[in-house]
Structure 1
Amino acid sequence: MRALVMGGNRYIGLCLVEELVRQGHEVTVMNSHAVPYPAGVRRLHGDRQQPGAIHDVLGPHRDEFDAVFDNTSYFPKDLEPMVELFTGRVQHLVFTSSVAVYRRSFVQPVQEDFRRHAPEDPDHRKSYGVGKVQCEDYLDDLHRRTGLPHTTLRVGHTFGPRSPLVARDPLFFRRMELGRPTLVPGDGFAALCLVHVADVARLMVSVLGNPKAVGSTYNVVGHEFASVLGVLEMIGRATGAKPDLVHVPLEVARRRNPPIVHWGEAIMGSTVYSIDKALSDLAWTPKFGIESGYADSYRWYANGGRELYEYDFSADDEVLSLLK
């Protein structure tokens, strides 16, 4: 297929571009920052946050795509110009949402029909998830009224090479390499669902040409879950270091901003997501487990990735001083 990727210059988007090329698709990206791409990828320069940029950049190419992957829409206003350009022209619009749309659930694993946040919820702490709910509702309504062929992918916590944020894999790796303490909120028994970025990309491509995926929504996480403690131990194995784990009382951890770890479950409690629907409908299964995924991430980090980040441990030191 002729695929357009919005973004596509780092992390999930770049993995998606590489996977599309690997599977023989013709790829165009639109973004504001160039990176090295596989041979044959066409890049259109534009910042979608600038008024009129999508119409100006993509308008002349509106009939050139069979599928559109939108990884960088956070509110319906972001999607509206895409819908205006491509309704009736593309076979598939794939929207990247998030498991942040879900409310807390007493029953797990969380399936795609479980309760989401209310689209009008004013709580600013939920704004990311609420914005994604609004996007999902907008696309679902268009699908019902016009037949817009879309798929929504609710992606969970990702890990793997080329993290856009130092506070994810790179900072954990560096702490352990240096023998610094790794902070753990509470007892560390809360369970996490993680998914390697390459597995996300493979699932995204797998929806193309699949009629079951049209109008459908899928959770996108790995096939394993582990406690926070277990994940940190597996990160340590990847680095070859024994992590120095320091437990922080939850009443202290809850007050920290930025948070001690980027996994909200460490504070809020376990959440496990079902991928049964994706496994049933799509020609996809996760390739990476948690341990093999962190080993893959560390290989990238140790072979040039380490130098791409700046490491600041002052927040760690402040918490450690409170525990003395």
Structure 2
Amino acid sequence: MKVLFIGGTGNISVSVSKLAVARGIELTLLNRGQQGVSIDGAETIVADISQPEQVRAALGNRHFDAVVNWIAFVEPQIERDLDLFRGRCGQYIFISSASAYQKPLTTSAITESTPLANPYWQYSRDKIRCEERLMRAYRDEGFPMTIVRPSHTYDKYVPVAVGNWASYLIPQRMLDGKPIVVHGDGTSLWTLTHSEDFAKGFVGLLGHPQAIGHAFQITSDFVLTWDQIYSQIGDALGVKPNIVHIPSEVIARVDPGTGAGLLGDKMWCAVFDNSKIKQFVPDYVATIPFHLGIRRTLAWFQADERRMQVSAEDHDQMERILAAAGG
């Protein structure tokens, strides 16, 4: 099976790329070559997806059983991909987001039929519009699309809600005994998924003929409160975190960038019913609980001192939020 990944070297997609190659998929990565990540066994084509003519020249007349765009966020990018890949792929997979589901939720468990509506976060509304455009293309012209909605998926990032999760900020503050912010009262339920678990479900959808026209969420079944998440990070570090609870609305007022993701996603309980992905990919099961996965993440940071450098800006952001809330 021939598969094209647009991107393929990011937080989630590296694990998917590696598993795809391991399962014998003939994988081609199309990206700008700026991540400094190589996937053994995959072909790499250096081209900028934002330059369609450059992509056409790079791909020539090649046809793929599946094309996955890991870096499409707004509807014009979907329109571009429709023009690029009509007639040259058996399946087009769009990476949406579980944050697109309605806020507030009206059911306890999220399924693929949960309505899509997010009045708080532009990122989520853009993903919804992308999905709607692809559904029209499927209905009107038979474009072979599949939609995948990841939730909070991690690997080499520390999956937190407040603070730069791509840096060592939260672990370093825990080690230094400095306060860290947890939104709300820390008791809302949240689902974290390791990228290697996500990859198992995702690779099973590649080239799957019955997946055409469908949307799937792929998450673990491990559910934690936010206090438990931060406590397990602390346990992995051997310290007890100094948690300060601050209402999400206060955080949003002080730091609107963080607030959009809180009000539009992380302040709500998120428990997922994964029956559909398990029906289509029968061997899918998440096997990496957070207390083990976070140790892998921390070990990656600690393997190189440069990865543990934390900018003054990251600390300042946390201190501003704490100061505004009297923390």
**TM value normalised by structure 2:** 0.86
Q: Distance in 1 between matches of 2:179 and 2:112?
A: 38
Q: Deviations over 1:254-293 (max 9, x none)?
A: 4221438965578743232221211222131112122222
Counterpart of 1:321?
A: 323
Q: Report how many aligned residue pairs link the two structures.
A: 317
Instruction: Please identify, of 263-272 and 95-104, the stretch whose mean Cα deviation from structure 2 is larger.
Output: 263-272
Counterpart of 1:271?
A: 270
SS of the equivalent of 1:255 reads helix
Q: Which amino acid aligns with 2:169?
A: L
Counterpart of 1:37?
A: 38
The answer to whether the 8 Å contact 1:185/1:266 transfers is: no
Counterpart of 1:13?
A: 13
Q: Which amino acid aligns with 1:139?
A: L
Q: Deviations over 1:49-68 (max 9, x none)?
A: 2464433433x1x4242211
Q: Distance in 2 between matches of 1:81 and 1:266?
A: 28
What aligned pairs does 1:127-142 form with structure 2 within 5 A after superposition? 127-142=122-137
Q: Aligned-pair distance for 1:217?
A: 0.8
Q: Deviations over 1:135-180 (max 9, x none)?
A: 2122222222333222110111122225799711632222222222
Q: Percent identity?
A: 26
Q: Aligned-pair distance for 1:38?
A: 2.9
The answer to whether the 8 Å contact 2:138/2:145 transfers is: yes
Q: Aligned-pair distance for 1:36?
A: 3.4
Q: Distance in 2 between matches of 1:187 and 1:178?
A: 23
Q: Aligned-pair distance for 1:87?
A: 2.5
1:225 aligns with one of 201, 223, 230: 223
Counterpart of 2:95?
A: 96
Q: Distance in 2 between matches of 1:298 and 1:173?
A: 8
Q: Distance in 1 between matches of 2:221 and 2:306?
A: 28
1:168 aligns with one of 153, 158, 165: 165
Shift of the 227–201 alpha-carbon distance from structure 1 to 2, 3 Å rule, reads: same
Shift of the 149–265 alpha-carbon distance from structure 1 to 2, 3 Å rule, reads: closer
Q: Distance in 1 between matches of 2:303 and 2:262?
A: 26
SS of the equivalent of 2:146 reads strand
Counterpart of 2:195?
A: 197
Q: Distance in 2 between matches of 1:261 and 1:86?
A: 33
Counterpart of 2:24?
A: 24
Q: Which amino acid aligns with 2:322?
A: L
Shift of the 163–233 alpha-carbon distance from structure 1 to 2, 3 Å rule, reads: closer
Q: Aligned-pair distance for 1:206?
A: 0.9
Shift of the 157–309 alpha-carbon distance from structure 1 to 2, 3 Å rule, reads: farther
2:149 aligns with one of 151, 154, 158: 154
Q: Distance in 2 between matches of 1:64 and 1:308?
A: 42
Q: Aligned-pair distance for 1:74?
A: 1.4
SS of the equivalent of 1:270 reads coil
Counterpart of 1:245?
A: 243
Q: Distance in 2 between matches of 1:265 and 1:88?
A: 36
Q: Distance in 2 between matches of 1:76 and 1:141?
A: 12
Q: Distance in 2 between matches of 1:15 and 1:5?
A: 12
What aligned pairs does 1:62-77 form with structure 2 within 5 A after superposition? 62-77=61-76
The answer to whether the 8 Å contact 1:54/1:82 transfers is: no
Shift of the 108–291 alpha-carbon distance from structure 1 to 2, 3 Å rule, reads: same
Q: Which amino acid aligns with 1:75?
A: V
* Structure 2 residues without counterparts, runs of 5 or longer: none
* Structure 1 residues without counterparts, runs of 5 or longer: none
The answer to whether the 8 Å contact 1:29/1:41 transfers is: yes
The answer to whether the 8 Å contact 2:121/2:263 transfers is: no
Whether 2:83 is the aligned partner of 1:84: answer yes
**TM value normalised by structure 1:** 0.87
Q: Which amino acid aligns with 1:86?
A: F
The answer to whether the 8 Å contact 1:108/1:272 transfers is: yes
2:254 aligns with one of 233, 253, 256: 256
Q: Distance in 2 between matches of 1:145 and 1:116?
A: 21
